[in-house]
Amino acid sequence: MSKAMKNITQPYPTAFQVRIVKERKERSRLFSFSHWGGKGKALKAAQSWRDQLYVLLDVKPNRKACVPKNNLSTGVQGISKRIYTDKRRVIERQYLVYSVNWNDVTGKKRNKTFQVGNIEDYEDQIEILAFETAKKFRKEYEKHWDNNTLGKFDTTKYIGWKDNFAQ
């Protein structure tokens, strides 16, 4: 997601919506393409209203810290630790994975997983490597997001991550 679209969604094919929540109170406004004279003008109006609201409410549009909620939380925003059940096999197997959430250059939600292994017999070093690689992936994504260079974010170097990032 680019900075230009932060807090802006398109809930309908003909309008943008700005939503900002501060202290559990939501401020929201819809910007119709027909009312604003086209999609581009509606987006500019939405961005302008959002930026004015940031100033008025003293909202910092930066990422906030993530507080772990349970023993599968990692404490790192955008990275979760979960158990994946593979139901395609005759005998179901469960795997521990670290999952990184991110948005591509078009704003589409993506997910990159780093599979540690079968929960019954994985090695601690592989879990540490998976978590460190997930953090590296997320940090690189955030760097590109902050610099508006998501088009240069190369996810292919994380293919074969166990071999590429082993110390």
Please write the tens of the pLDDT for every residue from 86-120: 888 778 888 889 999 998 888 889 999 999 988 88
C-alpha triplet 74, 76, 80: angle, nearest 5°? 50
CA distances from 136 to 25, 98, 143, 161 (A): 34, 12, 11, 11
**Are residues 53 and 83 located together in one domain of the fold?**
no
Confidence of residue 1 (pLDDT cuts 50, 70, 90): very low
Range of the domain at 144: 79-164
Q: Do 105 and 155 fall within a single domain?
A: yes
CA distance 71 to 50: 36
Six-digit token string for 31? 């910007």
pTM of the model: 0.57
Pair 20, 93 in one domain: no
- Spell out a b/e string for 46-56, using b for 16 or more CB atoms within 10 Å of the CB, else e: bbebbeebbee
Count up the domains in the chain and report the number.
2
Asked if residue 36 is part of any domain, the answer here is: yes
